Amino acid sequence: MKLSILTLATAALVTCAAPAIAQETMRQNPFLQDYTTVYQIPPFEQITYADYLPALYAAIAEHDAEIAQICSQTEAPTFENTILALENSGSTLDKVVHVFMALEESNSSPEMVAIAEELYPAYSQHSDAVSMNDALFARIKGVYDTMDAAGLDPVQRRLVEKYYKQAVRNGALLNPEQKKELTEVNSLLSSLYLTFNKNLLNATNAFAAVVDDPARLSGLPESIVATAAEQAAARGLGEGHWVFTLHAPCRLPVLQYADDRDLRCEIYVGYTTQAQSGEFNNLPVISDILVARARKAAILGFESFGAYQTDCVMAKTVQSARDLLMQIWEPAKARVAEEVAEMQALADRRGDNITIEPWDYYYYSEKVRAEKFDLDENEVRAYFPLPSVVKGLFTMAERLYNVKFTEITDAPHYFDEVTVYDVTDATTGEHISVFMTDYYSRPSKRQGAWMSEFKGSWVNADGTAERPIIFNVCNYAHPTGDTPALLSLDDVETTFHEFGHALHGMLTRARYKSLAGTNVDRDFVELPSQIDEHWAMEPELLKEYAHHYITGEVIPDELIARLAAAANHGQGFATTELCGASLLDLAFGELNPTEAVDVTAFEQQVSEQLGMPAQLTYRYRPAYFKHVFGSDQYASGYYTYLWAEVLDSDGFELFKEKGVFDPETAASYLHNILEPGDSEDPMTLFVRFRGHKPAVDALLRNRGLAD
């Protein structure tokens, strides 16, 4: 997943109720000074909790002054004095918000949560006032209306159109009463998202499945048992106790390997019912979000929030997104029936005397895979220690794009487990980007994996380039004893996925910050991430990075062959839970409630309409569907993973045809997909790279759901 801060599309004159700040304090605030660190990396070690809010209010005041200067000009609006001036404004605000949002997600604390309760509403209020400033919008519209006469080049036109459309979507054409109402709704949504995320983190951390009988550990990998013992010790439980949590590095191995069916059931039910009741109940929060979103859509003239969200992306409508998903849903659901039949037959042969339930799916799917393909996940994990996988990422990038990664050992970093790299041109040594990795799970980090930035990329007026600072965050189990973090195949895929987002951010050469890197349509942004997943299991690359963590042995050919044979095992389950969640998200987006919504009843209604198989559920149920209810970034947009997979499956078939490291194909992909960012229409860029528009057939072939 690509994570970005709220876009400041336009700017406004606004008076903020900022606390009085002593001049001495302001001078010492790290955010309010030029960074003197290497490559302008934020000086994390100098930043304290007390710095955020004073810096935010000072940055907002600075931004106000910049916008005031734009609006007070007597000259007619031009690209340079309005659009480019706006593009270059708010640099201090970007610094504050980039750092706070990154740390609040990846290294939170009670202090950060308390700051967030003031920072996010203040930032939202400023963003709204910025978006709805009549004087500023008049100047933006003046440039928009005279683009032809001004002779702007295509990239300049693209930037003007982006600012104009964002301003309109953010309420620039509303009357004063409507603007006031929209500001109230946005402020409410900002607060609700904060509550949702806080509830989810607390609910996840509150759960613990305690085991005090070693017999119940049967089937579990030693590393998982060791981690569970460490968790028990950390909670003050004595020897002979093990604690299992809902965090993915613990949850998934239990579901996959635990012979104790009751333990699997406890973990599954705990996960799928988290944040649905009690102190951290997210269902009322979701209801309020749905009502507020419907109100927002109506104010802006859209028939639903889903219509509002899809209007500005490749899909254009909810229906076109749903049409794509339904082409995938039915074949995937049919495959689930086949998979369940295989698992039930195996359980019967074993004499297990059970009927396959949702908490059995991972477990028996793994047993079927082992039987059909002679694959043991523990055997496979041994070839994928995290350091080796990182080597695979860097090797892939160097062979495709001629870039080199060198660790900067003394660089600032926001947590002691973060590693910082200097990314350079392997031939010339030119600095391209800073890249940070934060791979291990901790209670202060939200679940999932993502990419974002501490600094964007752009070209200055004098032709010099400002290069980005990009980071990846994941949630893998820590090394235990002498054993490094060993990744599952899903973990490896996730690592390559997020690195694909990072490459999109690092290798961009777009002229303007708002068009650079991952600032593209939401249903295009997953193309660079998902296409990278294909290289993870390519034999040519596996030979370079997949080495046994004890012996150093290169992964053998016969194991690679077995992995290839099993590549599409379980795709019925994987595709159905993902596609189902996407369809559920679209259904929520089409609601227009004016009063409380029974979220659980609506979820059940959608399940019945789809014919959701009884043996699984959505990848994310509403109460922990952070993509959709933790912000509006992926609301009515979770489908984009499958939409982009149509693109990446078709695109990678060209690499397979020409050679997975073919220099000409890699150069075309770099120049047509990674470098331009949003400088051109995404479909135009894809067709220029691939030679034709994408079709869903490639996705079905890639997932083994069609010949």
In this prediction, residue 18 carries a pLDDT of 37
pLDDT above 70 (res 19): no
Is the pLDDT at 53 greater than 90? The verdict is yes
Average pLDDT value for the chain: 94
Confidence at residue 481, expressed as pLDDT on a 0 to 100 scale: 86
Q: How far apart are CA 201 and CA 443, in angstroms?
A: 8
Q: How far apart, in whole angstroms, are the C-alpha atoms of residue 415 and residue 437?
A: 10
Q: Is the pLDDT of residue 3 over 70?
A: no
Measure the CA dihedral 406/412/415/419, to 10°: 0
Confidence of residue 14 (pLDDT cuts 50, 70, 90): very low
Cα-Cα-Cα-Cα torsion 659, 664, 667, 672, nearest 10 degrees, comes to: -90
Q: Is the pLDDT of residue 64 over 90?
A: yes
Alpha helices by DSSP H, 311-360: 318-350
pLDDT-derived band at 522 (thresholds 50, 70, 90) equals confident
pLDDT of 462-486, one tens digit each? 999 999 999 999 999 999 888 999 9
pLDDT at 185: 96
Cβ contacts of 17 within 8 Å, gap of 6 or more: none
Mean pLDDT of 62-85: 97
According to CATH, the topology of domain 386-521 is Collagenase (Catalytic Domain) (3.40.390)
Pairing of strands 469-476, 431-440: parallel
Q: Is the pLDDT of residue 551 over 50?
A: yes
| 498 part of the active site | yes
Residue 489 is inside which H or E element, if any? helix 489-506
Per-residue pLDDT of 320-347, as tens digits, reads 999 999 999 999 999 999 999 999 999 9
What is the average per-residue pLDDT within 621-641?
95
d(CA 87, CA 11): 10
| pLDDT per position as a tens digit, 356-394 | 999 999 999 999 999 999 988 889 999 999 999 999 999
Could you tell me where the DSSP H helices lie in 429-538? Answer: 489-506, 526-536
Q: Does the 23-173 domain belong in CATH 1.10.10.10?
A: no
- Higher pLDDT, residue 96 or 706: 96
Query: 594-607 pLDDT, tens per residue?
Result: 999 999 999 999 99
d(CA 437, CA 456): 17
State residue 210 phi and psi, 5-degree precision.
Answer: -95, 130
Distances (CA, A) of 553 to 223, 383, 556: 21, 8, 8
In tens, the pLDDT along 491-512 reads 999 999 999 999 999 999 999 9
Q: What percent of the chain has pLDDT over 90?
A: 90
Quick check: 707 pLDDT over 90? no
Q: Give the span between the Cα atoms of 505 and 460, in whole angstroms.
A: 18
The predicted pLDDT at position 15 comes to: 28
Phi, psi of 486 (to 5 degrees): -105, 125
How would residue 446 be classed by pLDDT, with cut points 50, 70 and 90? Answer: confident
Residue 692 per-residue DSSP state: S
pLDDT higher than 60, residue 7: no
Q: How large is the average pLDDT for residues 529-553?
A: 97
Residue 23's pLDDT band (cuts 50, 70, 90): very low
Integer-rounded Cα Rg, in Å, for the chain is 25
The tokens of 171 are what? 């309420």
Please tell me the predicted confidence (pLDDT) of residue 9.
34
Average pLDDT over every residue of 144-158: 96
Percent of the chain with pLDDT over 70: 96
In angstroms, rounded to a whole number, what is the distance separating the alpha carbons of residues 408 and 420? Answer: 6
In 129-270 the beta strands, taken as DSSP E runs, fall at 209-211, 242-244
CA distance 190 to 210: 36
Candidate list 104, 105, 266, 498, residue with the active-site label: 498
Q: How confident is the model at residue 2 (pLDDT cuts 50, 70, 90)?
A: low
Residue in 372, 401, 571, 579 with CA at minimum distance from that of residue 489: 571
Q: Which two tokens stand for residue 285?
A: 């929060």
- pTM, two decimal places: 0.87
Supply the pLDDT for residue 376. 86
What pLDDT was estimated at residue 22?
Answer: 41
Q: Tens of pLDDT along 209-232?
A: 999 999 999 999 988 999 999 999
DSSP 8-class letter at 434: E
Task: Taking the CA atoms of 424, 690, 514 and 292 in sequence, report the sign of the dihedral they define.
Answer: negative
Residue carrying structure tokens 């690195």: 499
Residue 530 neighbours by CB under 8 Å, 6+ apart? 497, 500, 641, 644, 645, 648
Indicate the domain borders of the chain: 23-173, 207-274, 386-521
